[in-house]
Structure 1
Amino acid sequence: MKKTLKRYRVFGLILIVNLILLLIKPSLGIASLKGTEDSLKELLAIMPPVFLLMGLLDVWIEKDTMIKLMGEGSGLRGMLIAFLLGSFAAGPVYLSFPFVAVLMKKGSKFFNVLIFIGAWSATKIPISLFEASVMGWRFMLTRYMIDIPAIILIAFITDKTISQQQRESIYKHAESVN
């Protein structure tokens, strides 16, 4: 029971805040509830396909294959695969974290996981195509020329500043995620 309450504490807190707003200032409370409902609908629409893809990744790609493609010693190939996986993604960045857990369980190198998160955050191809149609190809390409080195630099700095003990803790936590 305690574990369940702890797991859903954020949802409970949001519900309590919405109810308090509803009592104190009904118009703001209704707007807040509507925003919460919209966010929940978006989440529920996106999560099933994400979990399906995550499950397929987990089942179809053997750990040895993932280690060979994205693990220690994968070099530029692993970085490129991580970048492409993140760039072809769809959805908000919080949806990348279940994928990250699977990548880590399968033996992906920490640096490549960081590249994946960075690419998911900044270089999604569907959004980039929309951006190019609105802002122009020159703008999009200029942004990529800034973002890609920045993603690599941030991943490198993060990879080098995380201690081995912290890294092991992160991987251990990823293993425990269902």
Structure 2
Amino acid sequence: MVLKKYRFPIVAIIAMAVMFAVDKELGKKAVTVTTDSLFQMLSVLPAVFILIGLMDVWVPRETMIKYLGEHSGIRGVIISFIMGSATMGPLYGAFPVAAVLMKKGAKFSNILIFIGAWSTTKVPMFMFEFNSLGPRFAVTRLVVDVIGIIIISYAINRMLSRKSIEEIYEKAESF
């Protein structure tokens, strides 16, 4: 069971050991990149987990269902976009937040919209593009992204069976 659960890190460590044995310089680079990534992740995740804990305690399930649940409609879509766009940090920070949203009863398509917004419509990125690439580019990219995120979210929601979505929610419960 432990081997199955940690198979990816074990395979990665074995691959790095083989790489190190074959080419020490390449192995050193791999170790350096891995440790840098690990420290970057460890510098972000504590803040994410603190925010998740606060959201889990402070936001009642009924409120989450009202604003992001099955019957939230366009309001849920807009809130999901705002939540995702207003965030900072790398995309892997979105998944623990998404798990808490699932626990609190958010609709699956709103979760997908949140993750899509986190990855592509962040306010700081929009401001950078607006200033450096021009308003026409920034607004065009934002509009295309918003439309694309909505289409993809609803397409994924329709393509997955109810059972598959329920399994995803069950995994989120164990988080």
| Alignment partner of 1:158 out of 149, 156, 159 | 156
Partner of 1:149: 147
Q: Does 1:13 align with 2:30?
A: no
Q: Does 1:97 align with 2:91?
A: no
Q: Which amino acid counterpart does residue 15 of structure 1 have in structure 2?
A: I
**What is the CA deviation profile of residues 12-71 of structure 1, one whole-angstrom value per residue up to 9, with x for unaligned ones?**
222222222111101111111111111111111111111111111111101011001110
CA distance in 2, matches of 1:152, 1:93: 18
What are structure 2's unaligned runs of at least 5 residues?
none
| Alignment partner of 2:41 out of 40, 43, 53 | 43
- Structure 1 residue 120 displacement after superposition: 0.8
Q: Which amino acid counterpart does residue 46 of structure 1 have in structure 2?
A: V
CA distance in 1, matches of 2:134, 2:18: 46
**What RMSD over aligned residues (CA atoms) do the two structures have, in Å?**
1.3
- Structure 1 residue 10 displacement after superposition: 2.1
CA distance in 2, matches of 1:29, 1:83: 41
| Alignment partner of 1:124 out of 101, 106, 122 | 122
Partner of 1:58: 56
- Structure 1 residue 106 displacement after superposition: 0.2
| Alignment partner of 1:74 out of 67, 72, 75 | 72
Q: How many residues align?
A: 175
> What TM-score do the two structures reach when normalised by structure 2?
0.94
Q: Does 1:83 align with 2:81?
A: yes
- Partner-residue secondary structure (3-state), 2:29: helix
CA distance in 2, matches of 1:174, 1:93: 17
Q: Which amino acid counterpart does residue 6 of structure 1 have in structure 2?
A: K
- Partner-residue secondary structure (3-state), 1:107: coil
% same residue = 45
Partner of 2:113: 115
CA distance in 2, matches of 1:16, 1:129: 43
Q: Which amino acid counterpart does residue 39 of structure 2 have in structure 1?
A: K
CA distance in 1, matches of 2:43, 2:125: 18
Q: Which amino acid counterpart does residue 6 of structure 2 have in structure 1?
A: Y
Q: Which amino acid counterpart does residue 58 of structure 1 have in structure 2?
A: D
Q: Which amino acid counterpart does residue 120 of structure 1 have in structure 2?
A: W
Partner of 2:134: 136
**What is the CA deviation profile of residues 127-154 of structure 1, one whole-angstrom value per residue up to 9, with x for unaligned ones?**
2222223222221111011111111111
